[in-house]
Structure formats: structure tokens, C-alpha cells
Structure 1
Amino acid sequence: MFPNEPQRLHVLFFPLMAAGHMIPTLDMAKIFATHHVKTTIVTTPLNAPTFTKPLRSYKNVGPPIDIEIIPFYSKEVGLPEGVENYERCTSDEMTTRFLKGTEMLQESLEKVIEKCKPNCLVADKLLPFATDVAAKFNIPRLVFHGTSYIAQCVMHALGKYEPYKQVSSDEEEFDVPHFPHEIKLKKSQLPTFLRGLGEKHINDEWMKIFGRAMEAEERSYGIIMNSFYELEPDYADYYRKKMGRKAWHIGPVSLCNHEKEAKFQRGKDSSIDEHECLKWLDSKKPKSVVYVSFGSLAKVSTLQLQQIAMGLEASEQDFIWVVMSKNNVDGENEKNEWLSHEFEKRMEGKGLVIRGWAPQVLILDHEAIGAFVTHCGWNSILEGISCGVPMVTWPVFAEQFMNEKLVTEILKTGVGVGVNQWNIMVEGNVKWEDIKEAIRKVMVGEEALEMRNRAMKLKELATTAVEVGGSSYNILQSLLHELRSYNA
């Protein structure tokens, strides 16, 4: 028991089973624990190592973080045994079945709540039944949004005003109406289900899923955002004032990992040895290396991988390039075929190709990193910002085109490669010349220096936000105070 704390709060975290949702959830649990809150994470058997492995070496000042494991019913929804994670889904059909499988977790979640008796449930946006479960046990449900304020605001404006219906072609730009900044988008940059493309039953399923999520969110106690006020103040205000949402931004959550070991162990087992990785980076000059990664979900065609290789070589910059086996759509057995041995030989010492999971925060935080070629997933954007790294933006799908606008047009800490097509498959439309030009723009010359200075200022703001007295620290304190009052 701690001073002035009549009863220790107990918060239950329930993330969607996908790396981009589970990793920030573990970080959130660590942050809550440092505020002396008891935390428990609910997950399924095959996803448990994402939490248990990093926690083995976690040195926590507060109470320990518990893991509760519940079964996932793959077979019952027509998925192969062992598919318990969004990343294991290889088609839209499998994804919708996976999300149906998550709906079957309601009863198991109720049993965990009966057993653990938490004071609050923090559950992923895409687990809408959590609102009803929390209501049943008379505890508040907080929705975890793994994305930016700006993306949420854009989606709200698109739903309300439907400006994309006023344009005559996919390539014609439209303005997002009544917005703090002038934001132009193309219809081709919006999710396919919004444009009515793809199979009708899949679109209908997605519309139902999002409809349920939005409705459950409106009935929830409020929203936790992995962001910080100084990063997108206009959109934090828009979200709370214009959209009327109760929200607490407590990020960047990745900054809770201070030791090298903690940064290395975030996520899955790394495909590269920590010391080998750091030794390679230590041999490079400050701000001289480009880091390239498309996250855990994007699929990249062989043709595009070849164009990236040519672009990196032509840019004349040192690089670390992460190629997940899932990124290479031609299959595990052929994962080396696209990259010529001559390229690897020529790039020896200049380029490091990591095949599989990479310790992204550890790499980005190294002084040798000068730029980040990113798919604009929100975790990656925030990690890049927290490390003061300018970006080459290459959005693929989800809300990534909206995140790109924040980086390139509002923060002005990056340049785009010129992608306009929303598609989980990176087809090969971006030519090596454009890749080279974008990389050189953020690495070489006056404009690059200005971007780097702006990026370093954002790093300072991010660091201050999570420290005692910072905006994220204070808003979390205020949330915990509310939760204690709710349960008093």
C-alpha cells in the first residue's frame, strides 16, 4: 500500500492479437505499473510469449505484471489450428474469420474478470464486446486506440461529410472539410471497403465490424491514445471538443523502455544478435545510416524489393533494411531469390539486411541512424519521432496515408515517395529513382538539416511529455485519479 492510496487500482489490458497492438499494450502496462497500479494482460496461448519473454528481464518499480491466458477458437471459425494472430491471416476471408474468433472470447474474458476483480478494463477498439462485459461487472471500459488523433479525426470527417463521393475519379484530390489544417486526400488512398471495392460480403463484414466498434466506443468510458499533446494539439482538441470524445493521451509509450535489453526484447525474437546489430551501428558515423522497414503486415512484391535494393544502392547511403518473410510475398523458400548475390557483395559493410523481426527501437535510437523509410504505421511513426529521426514516408494501407500527412505536411519532418494507392500489397509501382531521390532529400543538404532539427525538437518534446510534470504524465495521473474515484 502506498501513501494516500486507500486501495491499489487493478487494470486489466486486453489487446487485439497483432504485434502492432500487443507491443504498445505491454508498454502501457509497464507505465501503469510504474504508477503503482496492478496490471494484468489477457491474451491467447500462442501470443503469450510476446509478453512473457520481455517481462522475464523487466525491472519494475511497481507491482508485477500478470498474464492471463485464454483459449482461441481457431477451428470453430474455420481457421487452421494455430492461427491466433492477425499477422497469420493471409487473405481478407481469414481476417474476417479471425475477427469472428475474437468475438468468441467474451465468455473467457468474463471468467478472467470474475477471478481477477479488476477496477477497469482497457480493451482494443476491435474488441467491441468489451464494453458490455465491463458494464456487466460495473467497471469502466477504456478503448485503446493504436493510432493517431489526426487519423481518427479524418475518419470521423469522412464519415460525416463523405467528401470522397464528390470527386469524379480515384486520382482527384478532395479536401477534408472543416479541419484545422488543409488536408487533401485522394479516393485511392482510402480503405477499399469505404470505396466499395473488393468482394461485397468482405466489405459488408468490415462495415459491420467497424460499426460495432464505433457504437461500443461511444458507450465506453473513454479512449486511451498512444500520442502526446505537443505532437498533434489541434487534433487532440478536435477529437475531444468537436467529436465530443473523452480521451487521455499517455504516449509515446515506447519511451518506457530505457535499458538496451528492454528495447531489444520488444516484440518477437529478433533475427539478429543484439551485439552484432550494435557493433555494426557503432562502426558508422552519426546520422549516416538509413533504416528501412515496412512493419509486420505489409506484403512487398519481388519487383518492389528489387527497386528498393537499386534505390538504396543509388542513394550512396549506408543502410539497415528489414525484410520480414511475410513482406516477401513469393514465399519463405524463395526469400533470397529476389536479392542478387552481387548486390549483397557490393553492399558488404555498407548495408545490413535483416531477414525477420528487428529490434526497431534499439536501432532507431542509435546515433548512427539518420533517416527512417517507413510504412507510416502509428507505432513506427511515434518510435521515429521519439528518437528524433526524419522519415521517408511510404504508406501502404489502414490509416497510414493520414499519418503521412501529419509527418510531411504538418510536422514537416519527412518526405513522401509518392504512393497513392491503398493496398496491403506493395506492388512495385515506386521506381528506384524516386526511392533514391527521397532518401537523399532527408539525408543530404540544407533541407535535410532543417528536417533533422525539427525532428530533434520533437524528440525533446516527446521525452518531456512522459517525464514527471509532462503532458502525458499529468493526463495519466488525472485518469488514475478518476478511476480511483469511480471505484471509491
Structure 2
Amino acid sequence: MSSPLKSLHFAVFPLPAQGHMVPMMDIARILAHRGATVTILTTPVNAKRFNSVIERAVEAKLKLQVVELQLRLAEVGLPEGCESLDMLSSTDPWFKLLGAFDMLEEPAEQVLRRLSPVPDCIISDNFIPWTSDVARRLSIPRLIFHGPGCFSILCMHIVTSTSVLDGIESDSELFVLPGLPDPIEVTKLQAFGQSKPNATKPQVSDNSEAKTKEKKGYIERVQEGEKAAHGILVNSFEELEPEYAHELAKAKDKKIWCIGPVSLFNKSDLDIAERGNKAAINEHDCLKWLEGREPGSVVYVCLGTLTHTSLEQIIELGLGLEMTDLPFIWCIRNKTEELERWFSESGFEERVGDRGLIIYGWVPQVLILSHRAIGGFLTHCGWNSTLEAVCAGVPMVTWPHFADQFFNEKFIIQVLKVGVRIGVEIPVVMGGEDTAETLVKKEEVKVAVECLMNGGDEGEERKKRAQELAEMAKTAMKDGGSSIRNTTSMIQDITEQLAINV
């Protein structure tokens, strides 16, 4: 990569959620690689997850540092150490954790003022709105980072800023989102990414009037913070969604810089394996298992870090995978006594034998997806997972749960045309478990997976298209590629803005 146009100092504020933190840590290292000084402000638990990656960056002489901020968790009713959304139980509302992050404004500003030199620019997750006030008081530009890609951000913008939902009474009625390059149909529930469409964001367990007012105020602050931002960074690349990047810039009336896929910045197996957290399985053991499989024969299954899958759903998923007779790697978020009992008493592991590799906890997902043995990915449609599959040229079975995931599914199926739907229509509550109405049966798992892996001419077209997208992604992140040019453009823009502000 080329050297920076000016040695800037960026202060980076990631959201305490793996799907947001992982790409923002990549962005921090990309900027440091360009010669910038980067200070990452996060909490001790989140910092620890990236210790080894940061240490290697410092050893490589990158000007990168992490400043730890202490959360006042007891004041919001959370246990000590509960510092990331994936650590919340199904009964702990996500809003509590964001409330604790709200209390970091003053200590964070004090840290920034003590830094030498004082940061030239703040890069903040969109859901940390108080960084807008800090940037204003420091008289520096603020860029925001959204977790999803341009397509989903634009869809959510249309839902929240237009009257498109007026007159739509049924939660399950399909309607076309206006103003999009493609005819995208969604239901009201899918548009809000949750089981109740009347709330602005995923519901929480406490529905008191005071809490509702507080949540509404928080969302309004997020929206105002976005309006005040100098521009938006997106973990995507122009060739993937050119029309949507253009339309998003028009809709937001802001500069949009697509600077991804940032996962491709990681070159060493160690950086890839430890991207986001240390894996629950040794990457060499995982790759050794894959080496014994035929090219394109293995299904990789992972439903993300925030999904609380019920025991009944896990059983249905497992039985569906068994019925396919295909080799699979299955990542299960948490091992419980009930799950262990089912595995031991049902005979599942004995019947499946070495055909299945089950991993509990964090997995080296990018390494797995990029292995030649992987032929399909059963995914929850989180944007990181979606983009990592695109980079690896792997078609997907789509199983969205909440938030932007239903929009991402539409993008995978209708725009990219590299996926097969498992058939979910109703979102689950973020942080909650699936219910009877959202339960996916083993037969549905079997049909979708087999359709993806043995899809005849349509399957071959999906594979071909997936490989084409993977080549586009690699080109975007090479010297002279669109994302490299956009990173340079962003640095140039911030440099010019600072000159104006002097």
C-alpha cells in the first residue's frame, strides 16, 4: 500500500460487539499501515481479545496503541466483566451495555486531550453518538462506521426516514421498498429486523414508559450524530454494490468511502486465525481436518455471536445436517449441560462420526471459508460473515435472525445471486431465543443445504458468480484497487478539512 498523504492521528471508538469491533480493528491497522498514528479506545475485556494481533502490529513498528476505559457496569445492572454484546445473557437487554458506554464520554475526552499529539480525527461506530459532541469540542472531523454494507444501510434509511410503512397494517405483508435499484420486497417485521415493528430498535425486556422514552432519545442522538458526521466508512467495495453506494451517498448527503473487505488486510494465518478472538480450536487441527476432504464438499455452519439458539433448534439443525450425508464443520456458540446430554444420549456423534467437526465458541472463520474443501456456508447473514464468504467465493444458505440480517439476505439472494434461502420469514428478538413460529425444521435444513451443494445448473451458476465476486474483492484491496484509492481519498479529505478548520 502507498504511504499516507499526511501522518494523521486517528482516535477509534468501536462498538462492544464482535461484528462491529472486528472490522474496526482491521481499519485501525490499515490506517497505521499507511503511516498514521492510531489510538483505539475500548474496554479491558474487548482489548484483551485483540492483544496478540495488536502486539504483532506494534512489533512491526506500526504506530498503534490501545487505551482501556473502565465501564461502570454495576450502575446499569450488569455483572463485572460483561463488556460485549455477545457476553450478555438472553435476559440482559443490550440497552444496558450501551448505557454503560454512554458514561464514557467524559473520561474518553480527557484521554484524548492528554494524548500527544491530540487526535486529528475520530472514527466512531455509529451507535456511540456522544463521540459527535467530543469531536465538536475538539474541533476535529468525525467519521462514522456502520456495521452493514451500503445496501442494508440504504434499506434501513428508507424504512426509518420515509413514510413507506404508513398504511401497511399486516406484519407479514410483502411490500416493495421504494427508491432502490432492484425491486426488493420485505415485510414490516423484516424491515425492522425484530419481532415487534412498532419499536425503533430491537426490543428489550423492560418496557416501562421511562425506558421507552430513554431508548427513543438514544436513537434520536444516534441520528443527530450521523447528520453531524463528516462522512461514512463502509466495510464493502464499490464493485460489489456500486449503485447502492451511489444511492446511499445521495440519501445521506454525505461522503461514503467503501474501504473493504477489510478482512483481506490480514495476510498471516495467525492474524487470520486470531481475528476477533482466540479460536476455541487450534487452527492447524481445523485445517488438518479439512485437508482430508474433497474440494467443495464441506458445509460450514455458523449462526454468529449474538444468536441465542434454543436446544430444540440446535437439535433440528444437527439432525438436518446428519440427513444430508455431507461433511460439515458446525460452530456452536455455547456448550450447555442439556446439549451435552443430547449429544451423548442421542447417538448423533456416533452416527455422524468423522463426517462432522463440532466446535464450541470462537472459530477461525476466515481460514475455514478460504479452504478449498468448503463448498457452502450456512450463515445468519451478519455482514461480516456475508462479506467473508464473498471474499472466499463461497455460496451461502441464508438463515437471518434479526437486525440487518434480513436485508443482507435479500442482497445475497436477489442482488448477488449467490445464495439459497432456508425459508425464515419472522425475526427473533435480539438476544432472545427462537420460538415455535421461528423454528427451522430438520427437513428445511436438509433441503436448503442440498440445494446449495447439489444445485445442478443453478448451483454451478452460483459457484461461478461467487468466484467472480471473490476476484473483485481481492482486486479492490490491491494497490490501485478501489478500496485502496478510497482510503487515500479519505485521508486526503481529512487533511484538507483540518486545513480549513485552522
Q: Secondary structure at the match of 1:335?
A: helix
Q: Secondary structure at the match of 1:57?
A: helix
Return the offset for 1:203: 4.9
What CA distance in whole angstroms lies between the structure 2 residues aligned with 1:140 and 1:233? 26
What CA distance in whole angstroms lies between the structure 2 residues aligned with 1:62 and 1:184? 49
- Contact 1:126–1:209 (8 Å) recurs in 2: no
User: TM-score of the superposition, structure 2-length normalised?
Assistant: 0.91
Alignment-mate amino acid for residue 152 of structure 2:
A
- Contact 1:34–1:60 (8 Å) recurs in 2: no
- Contact 1:73–1:101 (8 Å) recurs in 2: yes
Give runs of aligned pairs for residues 396-475 of structure 1, distance below 5 A: 396-423=401-428, 424=430, 425-427=433-435, 429-444=439-454, 445-475=456-486
Q: Residues 389 and 14 (structure 1 numbering): CA distance in 2 closer, same or farther, change over 3 Å? A: same
1:314 aligns with 2:313: no
What CA distance in whole angstroms lies between the structure 2 residues aligned with 1:449 and 1:351? 24
Q: Residues 159 and 482 (structure 1 numbering): CA distance in 2 closer, same or farther, change over 3 Å? A: same
Q: Secondary structure at the match of 1:16?
A: coil
1:303 aligns with 2:312: yes
Q: Which structure carries more relative contact order (alpha carbon 8 Å, separation 6+)?
A: 2
Runs of 4+ more than 6 Å apart: none
1:379 aligns with 2:387: no
Return the offset for 1:292: 0.3
What CA distance in whole angstroms lies between the structure 2 residues aligned with 1:97 and 1:4? 39
Q: Which moved more, 1:105-114 or 1:160-169?
A: 160-169
* 1:311-335 Cα distance to aligned partner (Å, 9 max, x none): 111112110000011xx7xxx3333
1:254 aligns with 2:263: yes
Alignment-mate amino acid for residue 462 of structure 1:
A
- Contact 2:233–2:259 (8 Å) recurs in 1: yes
What CA distance in whole angstroms lies between the structure 2 residues aligned with 1:361 and 1:212? 35
Alignment-mate amino acid for residue 134 of structure 2:
V
What does residue 152 of structure 2 align with?
151
Give runs of aligned pairs for residues 164-179 of structure 1, distance below 5 A: 164-179=165-180
Give runs of aligned pairs for residues 192-271 of structure 1, distance below 5 A: 192=194, 194-196=197-199, 199=207, 201=209, 203-271=212-280
Q: Secondary structure at the match of 1:143?
A: strand
* 1:76-135 Cα distance to aligned partner (Å, 9 max, x none): 222222222222222576322211111100011112211221111101111000011011
Q: Residues 8 and 149 (structure 1 numbering): CA distance in 2 closer, same or farther, change over 3 Å? A: same
What CA distance in whole angstroms lies between the structure 1 residues aligned with 2:109 and 2:90? 30
- Segments of 5+ residues of structure 2 without an aligned counterpart are none
- Segments of 5+ residues of structure 1 without an aligned counterpart are none
Return the offset for 1:384: 0.6
* 1:19-44 Cα distance to aligned partner (Å, 9 max, x none): 11111111111111221111111111
Alignment-mate amino acid for residue 255 of structure 2:
K
Q: Secondary structure at the match of 1:300?
A: coil
What does residue 125 of structure 1 align with?
126
Return the offset for 1:415: 0.9
What CA distance in whole angstroms lies between the structure 2 residues aligned with 1:333 and 1:115? 49
User: TM-score of the superposition, structure 1-length normalised?
Assistant: 0.94
Return the offset for 1:195: 2.5
* 1:381-411 Cα distance to aligned partner (Å, 9 max, x none): 0111111100000000011000100000111
What does residue 360 of structure 1 align with?
365
What does residue 191 of structure 1 align with?
193
Return the offset for 1:209: 2.2
Q: Residues 206 and 150 (structure 1 numbering): CA distance in 2 closer, same or farther, change over 3 Å? A: farther
What CA distance in whole angstroms lies between the structure 2 residues aligned with 1:279 and 1:335? 26
Instruction: Figure out how many residues of one structure are paired with residues of the other and give that number.
Output: 481
Alignment-mate amino acid for residue 443 of structure 1:
M
- Contact 1:158–1:164 (8 Å) recurs in 2: yes
1:24 aligns with 2:33: no
What CA distance in whole angstroms lies between the structure 1 residues aligned with 2:86 and 2:253? 33
- Contact 1:22–1:50 (8 Å) recurs in 2: no
Return the offset for 1:247: 1.4
Alignment-mate amino acid for residue 338 of structure 2:
E
What CA distance in whole angstroms lies between the structure 1 residues aligned with 2:88 and 2:98? 10
Taking only aligned residues, the RMSD between alpha carbons, in angstroms, comes to 2.0
What does residue 113 of structure 1 align with?
112
1:480 aligns with 2:491: yes
What CA distance in whole angstroms lies between the structure 2 residues aligned with 1:338 and 1:184? 39
Return the offset for 1:164: 3.1
Alignment-mate amino acid for residue 180 of structure 1:
P
- Contact 1:412–1:451 (8 Å) recurs in 2: yes
Q: Secondary structure at the match of 2:378?
A: strand
Q: Residues 487 and 168 (structure 1 numbering): CA distance in 2 closer, same or farther, change over 3 Å? A: closer
What CA distance in whole angstroms lies between the structure 2 residues aligned with 1:130 and 1:57? 28
